[in-house]
Structure 1
Amino acid sequence: MSQRGTTTDRRSSFIPFLASMRGYRPSWLKRDLVGALTITALLIPEGMAYAQLAGAPPQAAFYACPVALVLYALLGSSRQLVVAVSATVAVLSAATISALAPSGSAHFLALTAGLAMLAGLISLLAGVLRLGRIAQFFSPSVLTGFVFGLALVIAIKQVPKLFGLKGAEGGFFERLWFVLTHLPRTHLPTLLVGASCLVLLVVLERISERLPAALVVLVLAILASHLLGLQARGVEVVGNIPSGLVAPRLPGMKWSDVLTLLPGACGIALVAFAEAIGPARMLGARHGYPVNPNQELIGLGCANLGAGLFQGFSVGCSLSKSAANDQAGAHSQLSSLVAAGFTLLVALFFTPLFRALPEATLGAIVVVAVSGMMEVGELRRLSRLRRVDFLVSMTALLGVLVLDVLPGLLLAVGLSLFLTVYRASLPRLSELGRAAGTLDFVDMRHDPSARSLPGLKVLRPNEGIFFANAESLREEILEHVRRGPLSVQAVLLDLEVTTDLDVPGADMLAGLHEELESRGVTLMLARAIAPTQEMMERTGVLEKVGRDHLYPHVLGGVVDYLARHAPHARDERAFFHDGLHRLGTLAEEVEASMPDEEREQLERMRRELRQAESALEEPPHGGSGP
């Protein structure tokens, strides 16, 4: 029984869908089915449009989406998130492949499928290695600017479809210039179709968020195309879309192709995860279940592997479909599984219905869909709250427009890494003082009543000590010693936030000890966790500083300092008075329930305080008593 339970738990941890189905209520099925219908209604038009963004034919969406929906539903940890087509990921895919093969060619489609599989492998490997924290290094401000710029690039690529123009190539500004200079060649019937679809999409979305506006417009456009003979009037249509599915197979690629696609695959894996983890956590918090970042990487990775294996294109989180699925009341991943079944039915039996669909309609659907990615309000908020965040966001935005998609992505990633390292390298150091009437040591900048003890500097690095900030912290600590109004006899360093001390950080502590010692100042260390102590042991820092100068708590270090130095100041008198009183009260309250070791530590600290206090009653050498 126990072994069976353990096996079930292991399966549930690897396949979160099994865990989410425990306690599933039959009353939830209706909501999940409504969610499935909603996902399908949005997926069909957007999938066909986004397939074209990826440089693939519309039917590629029917190859990629069902398997992606199923695999993420089984292996992802979010119950409402929908992983299928993504405009961001589709454009990144096209940007990666476009320089290697002609768009729409057999080689282009093979590389597109191979890119999806490679991005999936990278994401899967990152999940297995528990690298789910990588999204924290992609600045949300940078991501906002990058996605905004990407949305503009996507939109400008669709504008020629709306005007019936052909021949636009190049980057964002080249395409914009092409549209502006070729406006006299606008095909009026196509413009009427595109403009009508745009207006109708906007109006329907404002009428009701639950209404599948894209599907309604798609159906109406097909009907109008048949009734008005739009193709005969020169309006471009999708044309024949093959029915059925394709057998899974590995894309034909060389090892040189794999190496060429690797940077783009890493970018797709990173952006897809960064786009998905935020909505996944929001949905999890809303419905009261945990979201595992590592499991999200695994789910996204397997979804892309499946999409590539079935000759599709790279997939990612769909914010619009996820939001619609949640609004429909879906309780579990069952909605995505059923939506995959509905999509298969469309692929098998209904694709001939899309033959007369105007290309301008797909362009309008894409433009309206990506307009939600242009977060003007967020840019205004960044500008109002913190100008630096606004500037890096705008740098990422302009990088996409000026440099194109992949260089813009590299710029965005580089900006995020630079900001991370730069902020971590700043010597954020707090001086701690004793809060009045307590034994607590707090940041003196935040508590005006806190007072330092004469001759002792209690300092706390507010970032973990590592190679990037080690030297800056050393200089800042020495500056605190130099600029003190009184002679400093000891520095007590609180290492609480240093959870992963590296060798350069340990070397800095050793060098700091030697420099302070040359000035007659003692270095004391407090609250070093076990891994930090182990690194200091292995690098010889503890031997240099002295094990008797390593303390489990700041208070212990302060008491030891005062016991070693004859007190002479009013602040120290107050400290001893408060310390003896509070330790005595604490001992009476908890002494009976304390373990022997902790009771001995408490008693030893109380003896040290009394010993030091007795020095207050003795006159200093060569003078009278205080």
Structure 2
Amino acid sequence: MAALAKLVPVVGWLPGYRRAWLSVDLLAGLSVAALVVPEGMAYAQLAGMPPQTAFYITPVALLLYAVFGTSRQLVIADSATVAVLSAAAVGALAATGSAEFIALTGALAVVTGLFMVLAGVLRLGRFSQFFSESVLTGFVTGLALVIAVKQVPKVLGVDGGGEGFFDRVWLIVRHLGDTHLATLAVGAGCVALMLVVERFLPRVPVALIALIAGIAVSALLGLDGHGVDVVGDLPSGLATPAVPDVSFADLVTLAGSAAGLALVTFAEAIGPARSLARKHGNTIDPDAELRALGAANIGAGFFRGYPVGASLSKSAANDLAGARSAVSLLTAAVVTAVVALVLTGLFAPLPEAVLGGIVLVAVSRMVKVGELRRLWRLRRTDFVLAVVALLGVLVLDVLPGLAVAVLVSVLAVIYRAARAGISTLGRTSDGTGLVADGSPVPGVLVVRPDGPVFFANAVAVHEAVIPLLGGARTVVVDLESTTDLDVPAADMLSDLHADLASRGVELRLARAHREVRALLAETGFLDRIGADHLHTTTKAAADAARIR
């Protein structure tokens, strides 16, 4: 059962579910559904899909995450970030709204999900930390601006278009004189209503209020007869599962975009999941989260939908309502399914400008101006990384911007690891141990690389040791930070040993991990240095050098 619960977490928590939690979970589920319906319809259009698509994918995504996820408050459903990335990837291959576009979008969700499930099976969740939070801040901010500029024409009642962010901005400026005043009044009124309600009634689902108000005003005044675009009739019911009708060549073409989408989706989800877990004293399994996100995306793809991800607004509402378990997600799934079955007719008079306003308010929270200021104040290098990612999205567009964000994150990791310096260790005041900047050990230089030693910094570590020799007759290298060793780093230690020997200085190693010792033995280095020169502690190595 323990092994099964690790693969299917619902098996672990459901038997211990308390009846006292049911009322708050039901209330939390209703709160989530109140956001899922309006935001889902808006985000479906961001993905280039019909509004009713949100009703097809939300129940299955919520259900699958509830079964396989480990967060008790995180909501996996529509995500503005993921929706726009999906539209950009598929829009390069097919006309938006066409049957081919819909099929390719479903296939993208499935392939993205498969990548995530595979990553979870291979236990790659820990690698999420290598997507720099600073880079993600810039990327998401740029993406929010791209989303916003696509929604402005809908609120103004003018034709959109243009290639790229700046071209779209210029087209909007040129067509300001064509603004449809009734549409602008509806869109601006929607945004104002949401901001006011959010300001004075923060617990109220503002998107739902805007949706209801928009439908009521449109039906009462007959806005469609005054030139205001409305959603129109939506088909009722739920989609039946089906394999996306695409070729193998299409799947290969989508693979690159799916891999990037999987990375962003996980990076966007794991941070809030961990934050919510810390708040409530729970734990998160990153590998299980990968599998859960993958399952939700595969399910969305088979139900003719688009990729899904973590929704910060819905997760916050779920937590604020007091959700104790994923039963809240199951509740939201049921409510959304009921809406799809019997209530879609109510959305016919909904103005498109209202959906545009809902998106504008939602993505305004994605513009991380405060975080950018904080990066500028605390560390300029992180600020530069964020700005590079932001400009990558604005100048190169969404998918190339994603590539820039990933590349910048990788380069940042390599750059910082390659610049890892070394610390010199000395005796503590009582002589019982060794610490950084302690009292020098006569005749012994004790150094500790500040990070893992590997191919990118191996030469730098070697070159950093030699100037510190002074009158030392022994060098002790503490390898505690190196949990694994690659061949170039092992060769560096061999070269360092030879270099020191030519100067009449011996080399001793301390705190080498099992994997490190195994590689050093296989390369023959341990035979050359001698087993007695490998120590379990730095103090033991320094003491052995002094006795000698």
TM-score, scaled to structure 1: 0.87
Which ranges of structure 2 fall in alignment gaps of 5 or more residues?
Answer: none
Counterpart position of 1:461: 449
The amino acid that maps onto 2:525 is: V
Deviation at 1:427, TM superposition (A): 3.6
Task: Give me the whole-angstrom Cα distance separating, in 2, the residues matched to 1:112 and 1:394.
Answer: 30
**SS at structure 2 position matched to 1:452:** coil
Counterpart position of 2:23: 30
Counterpart position of 1:559: 543
Partner deviation per Cα, 1:537-558 (whole Å, 9 max, x = no partner): 0011111111111111111112
Partner deviation per Cα, 1:514-547 (whole Å, 9 max, x = no partner): 1111111101111112111111100111111111
Task: Give me the whole-angstrom Cα distance separating, in 2, the residues matched to 1:307 and 1:223.
Answer: 31
Identity of aligned residues (%): 54
Partner deviation per Cα, 1:146-167 (whole Å, 9 max, x = no partner): 0000000000000000100014
2:532 is the counterpart of 1:544? no
Counterpart position of 1:500: 484
Task: Give me the whole-angstrom Cα distance separating, in 1, the residues matched to 2:233 and 2:412.
Answer: 49
Partner deviation per Cα, 1:531-586 (whole Å, 9 max, x = no partner): 1111110011111111111111111112211111xxxxxxxxxxxxxxxxxxxxxx
Cα contact 1:138–1:417 (8 A) shared by 2 = yes
* Alignment equivalent of 2:136, drawn from 128, 131, 143: 143
Deviation at 1:51, TM superposition (A): 0.2
2:62 is the counterpart of 1:69? yes
Task: Give me the whole-angstrom Cα distance separating, in 2, the residues matched to 1:119 and 1:366.
Answer: 24
* Alignment equivalent of 2:418, drawn from 425, 428, 449: 425
The amino acid that maps onto 1:23 is: G
Counterpart position of 1:618: none
Q: Which fold has the larger relative contact order, with Cα–Cα distance below 8 Å and residues 6 or more apart in sequence?
A: 2
Counterpart position of 1:479: 467
Partner deviation per Cα, 1:16-71 (whole Å, 9 max, x = no partner): 12222233221111100101100100000000000000000001111111100000
Task: Give me the whole-angstrom Cα distance separating, in 1, the residues matched to 2:515 and 2:503.
Answer: 30
Cα contact 1:427–1:476 (8 A) shared by 2 = no
* Alignment equivalent of 2:458, drawn from 470, 481, 488: 470
For 1:220-239, what aligned pairs fall within 5 Å after superposition? 220-239=213-232
Counterpart position of 1:265: 258
Partner deviation per Cα, 1:167-209 (whole Å, 9 max, x = no partner): 4221111110011111000000000000100100101111122
Cα contact 2:150–2:160 (8 A) shared by 1 = no
Cα contact 1:462–1:497 (8 A) shared by 2 = yes
Task: Give me the whole-angstrom Cα distance separating, in 2, the residues matched to 1:543 and 1:199.
Answer: 75
Counterpart position of 2:493: 509
Task: Give me the whole-angstrom Cα distance separating, in 2, the residues matched to 1:51 and 1:82.
Answer: 17
Counterpart position of 2:472: 488
The amino acid that maps onto 1:519 is: R
**SS at structure 2 position matched to 1:102:** coil
Counterpart position of 2:245: 252
Task: Give me the whole-angstrom Cα distance separating, in 1, the residues matched to 2:220 and 2:271.
Answer: 45
CA-atom RMSD in angstroms: 0.9
For 1:39-438, what aligned pairs fall within 5 Å after superposition? 39-438=32-431
The amino acid that maps onto 2:505 is: V
Deviation at 1:110, TM superposition (A): 0.3
The amino acid that maps onto 1:554 is: T
**SS at structure 2 position matched to 1:145:** helix
Task: Give me the whole-angstrom Cα distance separating, in 2, the residues matched to 1:547 and 1:122.
Answer: 44
TM-score, scaled to structure 2: 0.99
Cα contact 2:444–2:546 (8 A) shared by 1 = no
Counterpart position of 2:440: 452
Partner deviation per Cα, 1:468-519 (whole Å, 9 max, x = no partner): 11111111112222xx2xx221101111111101111111111110111111
Cα contact 2:29–2:332 (8 A) shared by 1 = yes
Task: Give me the whole-angstrom Cα distance separating, in 2, the residues matched to 1:436 and 1:191.
Answer: 73
Deviation at 1:455, TM superposition (A): 2.0
Counterpart position of 1:586: none
Task: Give me the whole-angstrom Cα distance separating, in 1, the residues matched to 2:382 and 2:250.
Answer: 37
The amino acid that maps onto 1:57 is: P
Task: Give me the whole-angstrom Cα distance separating, in 1, the residues matched to 2:278 and 2:15.
Answer: 19
The amino acid that maps onto 2:18 is: R
Task: Give me the whole-angstrom Cα distance separating, in 2, the residues matched to 1:344 and 1:530.
Answer: 54
**SS at structure 1 position matched to 2:15:** coil
The amino acid that maps onto 1:381 is: R
Deviation at 1:325, TM superposition (A): 0.3
Larger radius of gyration: 1
Cα contact 2:90–2:101 (8 A) shared by 1 = yes
Task: Give me the whole-angstrom Cα distance separating, in 1, the residues matched to 2:285 and 2:206.
Answer: 33
Cα contact 2:131–2:267 (8 A) shared by 1 = yes
Deviation at 1:375, TM superposition (A): 1.3
**SS at structure 2 position matched to 1:21:** helix
The total of aligned residue pairs comes to 548
Cα contact 1:492–1:523 (8 A) shared by 2 = yes
Counterpart position of 1:603: none
Which ranges of structure 1 fall in alignment gaps of 5 or more residues?
Answer: 1-7, 445-449, 565-626
Deviation at 1:438, TM superposition (A): 2.7
Cα contact 2:484–2:513 (8 A) shared by 1 = no
Cα contact 1:63–1:245 (8 A) shared by 2 = yes
Task: Give me the whole-angstrom Cα distance separating, in 1, the residues matched to 2:116 and 2:360.
Answer: 29
